[in-house]
A and B are shown apart, each in its own frame.
Chain A
Amino acid sequence: MKLQTNTLLALYSVLEFAANPGRHLSAAEVAQKYRVSPHHLAKVLRTLGRAGLVGAVRGVGGGYRFAGNAKRLTLMDVIELFEDISAPRRAIAKGARRRSATDGIAAPQEVEDALGVVLKEIDEIAKATFRSITLDTMLKLIERRRGARG
């Protein structure tokens, strides 16, 4: 499982804001911490803002703050804003060898169908995992990892 850069950046950002719920953090602060371009981060924050997960405050002392419910918001809620993690579905023309819409490979339908069953199983497990972990649970997990690292 590999998430796209924007998705990872969104997860890092939203966890950063959720860990400091009362504090306004500037995009520059977050960008510096994660060593990404402020311009790139700003695009991610706009998406998070449109979804109501972060709120922006303008002016001196302004920045972004967490606007969601950390006990309810799951990793999947954030991921879905940026990408569809389902395995690519092929353009299926029944009973014929087809060229995949995504990778250009022609495969017999039964082979494609069987592989699709396996990929769907993996998708469902991955989605269930992301749906079951709230930001609050992630923050606890991060805290435990921090404790374990001493």
Chain B
Amino acid sequence: MIYRKKSSIAAPGEARQARVRGVLAGDLEQVIEIDTVVTGLRKAAYWAEILRRYGGGRRQRYFLVAEADGRIEGYVIGEVRDWEFGSAPCGWVFAISVRPDARLGGTGTRLLGAISDNFRRAGVSKLRTMLARDNQLILSFFRSQGMMAAPFISLEKDL
């Protein structure tokens, strides 16, 4: 896995700049803490499985964290997905989060920039994600990064 050492997408005027790197096993408790604060649900077993599947520099899978002053400020997770539903290989981001008290400092932008760089190096040129349409905060974030509606529609039904 290739990590960005320094981002060129910093927000102006931020006090401290988080460094983006690959996740380490010792980061997991802070990642769980961020997710718990944001979602209100602690999912330790889920995160242990995500670390097993996406941590450790696995091919085409990326689990990155932003660290500032020894504290994990946020994380992003994604992978390259090939030929799903006729789609050419693309980079999928399925989780991104930043501590509420560390927002508006460019950390999310740096995390997304770092995983995008990894996707580019893996040979894909399209970034995709999916989220609830009432999640205005994260939707606005992705929009601010230049993301537009994809030519796919997600569907579901009760089983």
Number of A-B contacts (CB under 8 A): 29
CB distance A133 to B134 under 8 Å? no
Q: In the complex, A125 Cα to B134 Cα: how many Å?
A: 10
Q: Which residues of A are found within 8 Å of B134, using beta-carbon distances?
A: 128
CB distance A134 to B143 under 8 Å? yes
Main secondary structure of the interface of A (DSSP, over half): helix
Q: Which residues of A are found within 8 Å of B39, using beta-carbon distances?
A: none
Mask for B116-159, Cβ within 8 A of A = 1, else 0?
A: 00000000000000000110100110111010010000000000
CB distance A131 to B136 under 8 Å? yes
Please judge, given known A-B contacts A124-B133, A125-B133, whether A132 and B146 are in contact too, CB under 8 Å. Answer: no
Q: In the complex, A144 Cα to B143 Cα: how many Å?
A: 13
Q: Using CB atoms, name the residue of chain B closest to A125.
A: B133
Q: Number of contacting residues on B, CB 8 A?
A: 10
Q: In the complex, A134 Cα to B149 Cα: how many Å?
A: 15
CB distance B133 to A133 under 8 Å? no
Q: Which of B133, B142, B146 contacts A140 (CB 8 A)?
A: B146
With most chain A CB atoms within 10 A of its CB, the pick from B142, B143, B146, B149 is B143
Q: In the complex, A144 Cα to B146 Cα: how many Å?
A: 9
Please judge, given known A-B contacts A140-B146, A144-B146, whether A128 and B140 are in contact too, CB under 8 Å. Answer: no
Q: In the complex, A129 Cα to B133 Cα: how many Å?
A: 8
CB distance A134 to B140 under 8 Å? yes
CB distance B133 to A137 under 8 Å? no
Q: In the complex, A125 Cα to B139 Cα: how many Å?
A: 12
Q: Which residues of B are found within 8 Å of A136, using beta-carbon distances?
A: 144
Q: Which residues of A are found within 8 Å of B133, using beta-carbon distances?
A: 124-125, 128
CB distance from B116 to the nearest CB of A (A): 16
Q: Which residues of A are found within 8 Å of B144, using beta-carbon distances?
A: 134, 136-137, 140
Q: In the complex, A122 Cα to B143 Cα: how many Å?
A: 19
Q: Using CB atoms, name the residue of chain B closest to A132.
A: B139
Q: Using CB atoms, name the residue of chain A closest to B138.
A: A132
CB distance A137 to B143 under 8 Å? yes
CB distance from B11 to the nearest CB of A (A): 11
Q: In the complex, A51 Cα to B83 Cα: how many Å?
A: 48
With most chain B CB atoms within 10 A of its CB, the pick from A124, A129, A137, A140 is A137
Mask for A117-142, Cβ within 8 A of B = 1, else 0?
A: 00000001100110111101100110
Chain A residues packing against B (C-beta within 8 Å): 74, 124-125, 128-129, 131-134, 136-137, 140-141, 144
Given contacts A136-B144, A140-B144, 17 further A-B contacts (CB under 8 A): A74-B140, A124-B133, A125-B133, A128-B134, A128-B136, A131-B139, A131-B140, A132-B139, A132-B140, A132-B142, A132-B143, A133-B143, A134-B140, A137-B140, A137-B144, A140-B146, A144-B146
